Amino acid sequence: MGRFKSVKRWLSAATLAGVTAFMAHYGISDANAQAKPNKDKYLIYLSLSYSGNAWQSEAANVVKALAKTPPYDKLVELREVISGTDVQAQISAYESMIAANADGVISFPVSPTALNRVVKRGCEKGTLFFMYDATVTEPCAYNVSYITSGFGENTAQQLVNLLHGKGNIFVIRGVPGNSVDKRHVDGAMSVFQKYPGIHIVADYSGYWDDRTEQQETAKALAAHPDVDGIWSEAGEDGAIKALLASGKKLVPVTGENSNGFRLALANPDMRAKGLQGVSSGSPPATAAFAFKLMMEVLQGKRKLEAHNIEYPLPWVPGNMVKVCTGDKPENGCNAFPAGKVPDSFVTEVFNPRLLPELSLRSAVSGEPTPGQTIQPLPADAVVAAPNEPGINCQKCTQAADTYKVTKVSAPIK
pLDDT, tens digit, for every residue of 249-291?
Answer: 899 999 999 999 999 999 999 999 999 999 999 999 999 999 9
CA distances for 324 relative to 93, 331, 333, 334, 338, angstroms: 39, 8, 5, 7, 11
Q: Which fold has domain 36-146+284-313+341-365?
A: Rossmann fold (3.40.50)
Rounded Cα–Cα distance for residues 199 and 403 (Å): 20
pLDDT value, residue 36: 60
Which residue positions in the chain have pLDDT lower than 70? 1-37, 412-413
Single-letter residue type at 397: T
Q: Is the peptide bond before 176 cis (omega within 30 degrees of 0)?
A: no
pLDDT value, residue 34: 53
pLDDT value, residue 59: 97
pLDDT value, residue 137: 97
- Kindly tell me the sign of the dihedral angle through the C-alpha atoms of 296, 282, 258, 329: negative
Rounded Cα–Cα distance for residues 54 and 60 (Å): 10
- Please give the CATH superfamily to which domain 151-280 belongs: Response regulator (3.40.50.2300)
Do residues 210 and 232 lie in contact, with contact meaning Cβ atoms separated by under 8 Å?
no
**Number of H helices and number of E strands within the chain?**
15, 12
Assess whether the region 36-146+284-313+341-365 and the region 151-280 belong to the same CATH fold: yes
pLDDT value, residue 5: 36
Rounded Cα–Cα distance for residues 304 and 28 (Å): 10
Instruction: State the pTM of this model.
Output: 0.87
Q: What are phi and psi of 365, to 5 degrees?
A: -120, -10
Single-letter residue type at 395: K
Q: What are the residue ranges spanned by the domains of the chain?
A: 1-34, 36-146+284-313+341-365, 151-280
Closest by CA position to 291, among listed 377, 369, 397: 377
